[in-house]
Amino acid sequence: MVVDRQPLLEVHDLRVTLRNGLEVIRGVDFVAEAGKVLGIVGESGSGKSIMMRAALGLSPSLSTVTGSIKLRGEELVGANERRMRELRGSRIGLVFQDPMTALNPVITVGKLIAEAVRLHKPHMSAAEARRRSIELLELVAVPQPEVRANQYVHEFSGGMKQRAMIAIAIANNPEVLIADEPTTALDVTVQAQILEVLKNLQSRFSIGLVLITHDLGVVAGAADTVVVMYAGKVMETGAVRDIFYHSRHPYTRGLLSCLPTISGNQSRLEPISGSPPLLSARPAGCPFHPRCSMAQDVCRTEEPILRKVDRAMTACHFAEALRGGAVGKMASQGGRA
């Protein structure tokens, strides 16, 4: 038996430039593996969603995508629209951020799912597609799937809408499932349920799950590897445990300091000062330096490269200083280290 050892989804030096010449994604690299969860984390505007939409051929109109995006070795950058339509929904599934705007409100949920199935399997009968839609609703833990299949989107709660969106995304057994902020606007209990559904699907079908979120807490118990993005660039990447316990970037530390703990040692949450830069007004040097308590002159003039520091890849001039006593000292100066 021949074993396919090619990475499931491999992205190298990905760059997305808008028609006005603004580069919004700048040299991003990552690998998503079958049966694994890749978490892509960053504040709003960091480029997470536009990066993954580039992988689906859904970049903004007249934008330019360069670099490499390979699905099982097949290059997607430059692929024609006909080929991308064949891949979208069949080999690559996408869970949109807002199911209310992504789902058609005048078609029953069962028909929405059946439509997604028959789009890639046109010879399937309507009855078979209906049975498949009910199976999918049951698979994503929707109660009474036979009844729910006849209901409309407005009759579903927020969590149920998201489950229906997931059912559509996995309708044709994709190899890669991209979930773009799947828990936004959901309460913590429903968030946990949606994450559990995604994890079960990923484990059961050996899907490569790409989980896009602004919340490191969401990926803490779900992801195997994490990519931390800021201003269209990767700030830090590595195994989830290394990122959470041995981070070497002030931005990642800042995101972690915003998370509540149950240890009782944290008296208050420490937000990162300032706001992310507009991509049209990105500062020179390290894009994070205006908000960083460690910033030095070199940070304002020279952009750090992504390099190996201990067990993670980090883009910080002073990554080596974020160890031991240095960490505690910097954390006491504002919680951003």
Are residues 178 and 320 both part of a single domain?
Answer: no
If phi > 0 it is left, if psi is from -120 to 50 it is alpha, else beta; for residue 17 that is beta
Residue 59 covered by a domain: yes
Are residues 201 and 329 both part of a single domain?
Answer: no
Domain final position from 135, 170, 205? 170
DSSP assignments along 198-248, one per residue: HHHHHHHHT-EEEEEES-HHHHHTT-SEEEEEETTEEEEEEEHHHHHHH--
Q: What is the pLDDT of residue 5?
A: 66
What is the C-alpha to C-alpha distance for residues 260 and 268, in angstroms, rounded to an integer?
8
Are residues 165 and 194 both part of a single domain?
Answer: no
Are residues 221 and 326 both part of a single domain?
Answer: no
Q: Which domain holds residue 127?
A: 102-170
Are residues 286 and 181 both part of a single domain?
Answer: no
The CA distances from residue 17 to 47, 67, 70, 287, 326, in Å, are 12, 11, 19, 18, 38
Q: pLDDT by residue (tens digit) across 250-264? A: 999 999 888 777 665
Q: pLDDT by residue (tens digit) across 163-207? A: 999 999 999 999 999 999 888 778 888 888 898 999 889 888 999
Residue 274 covered by a domain: no
Q: What is the pLDDT of residue 325?
A: 36
Q: What is the pLDDT of residue 3?
A: 47
Are residues 13 and 71 both part of a single domain?
Answer: yes
Are residues 86 and 227 both part of a single domain?
Answer: yes
Residue 40 covered by a domain: yes
CATH code at 181?
A: 3.40.50.300
Are residues 181 and 162 both part of a single domain?
Answer: no
Are residues 308 and 180 both part of a single domain?
Answer: no
Are residues 74 and 192 both part of a single domain?
Answer: yes
Are residues 87 and 227 both part of a single domain?
Answer: yes
Q: What is the pLDDT of residue 215?
A: 81
Low-confidence ranges of the chain (pLDDT < 70): 1-5, 262-267, 323-337
How many structural domains is the chain composed of?
3
